[in-house]
Chains A and B, each alone.
Chain A
């Protein structure tokens, strides 16, 4: 079932081995093996509650897995803290956009540069030449990323005041600002209209072509999954039930079964007990 994977010859950027996450008595992610190859777009799909977001949260360090390992470019990153994982080169976005709402778009994107800069308390207070040079670098990259997502003109607006579609793109720009090797996008098209989804797909194809980047995404929009993915992994009930190129997945009986009968889009993900 592994035939047709365009990037299979490339290096493995991210690998999970037997990844398992348990909440209370519930196994949200059950022994997941994932291999993401360099330069590809891998989509993780599955019905609500399949455990996709939990995989993301374990990979990006928000949760610590009960069993299994995560390797990034050959290095073991299991159990590292989220802020450490970013500096390894994994940047992410969230299912329900998590920007810094009362800060400007520019300041939001600058956050991505944090892990690539080093100025401390004293050099910031005394404005040393090194600190100023670093700030200029932050501003340059920020500008580049803002222009990339066509939000440069909104740079001084508060993130909460720009349209929803732009907020999605701003979050991606923020993730890209850390110059990641792996971009992890959690349902990037949710809430976007078909046109915006098209733009997003074109954008993702563009950056993966131009930069040394690999993309792992969770997606519900089948058009997007089929249109953009090099490889698709299907999860259901915490397990991986199928993987393959989009065309094969589309026809796969197990995938169809997993989706049919479980099409209650509104059911809550049984990730964790929600407070909000």
Chain B
């Protein structure tokens, strides 16, 4: 029994990574119906920026602000930088292409992804980078029969705090209502006086910032980062957002967590090598029987 619980907690940990990245996909998709293929690279870039702060700024930071100060500085620095990068990418690569329809935007997004990925490669080199090992004290915690690490608890707390905040903003505030309205029907929303540009600004700053924070958490959790990892996480996170119902923000969170848990359970009970196959099969089955995802709204075309 404790194995399954432990796997579920491990699943929730990586699931919260997927969920936080999936939010970026889903928010952008909701507002612009664009699959932002560069989003996985936002995540990678955030991870690398955090790495740089932690490795090179660590001595200075820890001396002045302590370990937690250094961590917070890394998270804030990467988050803010990526918010800016997100905005730039939107302005340069997407905005000029929107009017031509959705498909050119796919190519443009792939182009942006290649560009970012290779920027990272040129900047940090093509080899793996290792996050410092001793940042978080390696404390193990025993909860009944369940084994946890301090890092894992911190990751879960931070992820759920971020998701909770975003959930609150999107579901309970007026601006959140504007975001949901835009996702539902952009044209009508703009006719109702919603400032679409503000919504776009929001999703293109917050999405990448969340991705960056996730990048740092992934770096600390797995300790190894590479310039191509955005593809893999991006693919999983995108899958998660579709699983939850793309364009739907609570759906992205739920999809991410479910995907993480499924992956861990699949690894434990089926086979580690086939876990991703298992995840994709579940995804396809969900879409066959519920084509709009778990929380997606049913829509029908007016004939």
Give residues in A with beta carbon < 8 Å to B. Answer: 53, 57, 62, 94, 271-276
Q: Which residue of B lies closest to A274 (CB)?
A: B302
List 13 other contacts, CB 8 Å, given A274-B302, A275-B301: A53-B303, A57-B303, A94-B303, A271-B302, A271-B303, A272-B300, A272-B302, A272-B303, A273-B298, A273-B300, A275-B299, A275-B300, A276-B302
Q: Which residues of A contact B301 (CB under 8 A)?
A: 275-276
Find the B residue at minimum CB distance from A53.
B303
Closest Cβ of chain A to B297, distance in Å, is 9
Chain A interface, >50% SS class: loop
The 10 closest A-B pairs by CB, nearest first: A275-B299, A274-B302, A272-B300, A62-B303, A57-B303, A275-B301, A272-B302, A273-B300, A276-B302, A275-B300
Among B298, B299, B300, B303, the one with the most A-chain Cβ atoms within 10 Å of its Cβ is B303
Expressed in whole angstroms, the Cα–Cα distance for A33 and B302 within the complex equals 24
Contact A273 B299 (CB under 8 A): yes
Q: A271 to B300: give the CA distance in the assembly, Å.
A: 10
CB distance from B291 to the nearest CB of A (A): 13
What 0/1 pattern do residues 271 to 302 of B give for CB contact below 8 A with A?
00000000000000000000000000011111
Q: Which residues of chain B are near A276, meaning CB under 8 Å?
A: 301-302
Query: Is chain B's binding surface mostly helix, strand, loop or mixed?
Result: loop
Residues of A within 8 A of B303 (CB): 53, 57, 62, 94, 271-272
- Give the chain B neighbours of A271 by CB distance below 8 A: 302-303
Min CB distance B202 to A, Å, is 24
| A94: nearest chain-B partner, CB-CB | B303
- Closest CB-CB distance, A77 to chain B, in whole Å? 18
Q: Smallest Cβ distance from A206 to chain B, in angstroms?
A: 29
Residue of A nearest to B300 (CB): A272
Q: Within the assembled complex, what's the spacing in Å between the Cα atoms of A271 and B303?
A: 9
Nearest-Cβ distance from residue A52 to partner chain B, whole angstroms: 13
Give Cα distance in the complex from A276 to B300, angstroms. Answer: 9
- Expressed in whole angstroms, the Cα–Cα distance for A275 and B33 within the complex equals 14
Residue of B nearest to A62 (CB): B303
Instruction: Give the distance to chain A from B2, nearest Cβ to Cβ, in Å.
Output: 46
A95 CB to closest chain B CB (Å) equals: 8
Q: How far is the CA of A53 from the CA of B303 in the complex (A)?
A: 9
19 contacts between A and B (CB under 8 A): A53-B303, A57-B303, A62-B303, A94-B303, A271-B302, A271-B303, A272-B300, A272-B302, A272-B303, A273-B298, A273-B299, A273-B300, A274-B302, A275-B299, A275-B300, A275-B301, A275-B302, A276-B301, A276-B302
Q: How far is the CB of B188 from chain A (nearest CB, A)?
A: 10
* CB-CB nearest in chain B for A96: B302
A273: chain B residues at CB < 8 Å are 298-300
Write the nearest CB–CB distance from A236 to chain B, whole angstroms. 21
Question: Considering the chains assembled together, what is the distance between the CA atoms of A274 and B302 in angstroms?
Answer: 5
CB distance from A117 to the nearest CB of B (A): 25
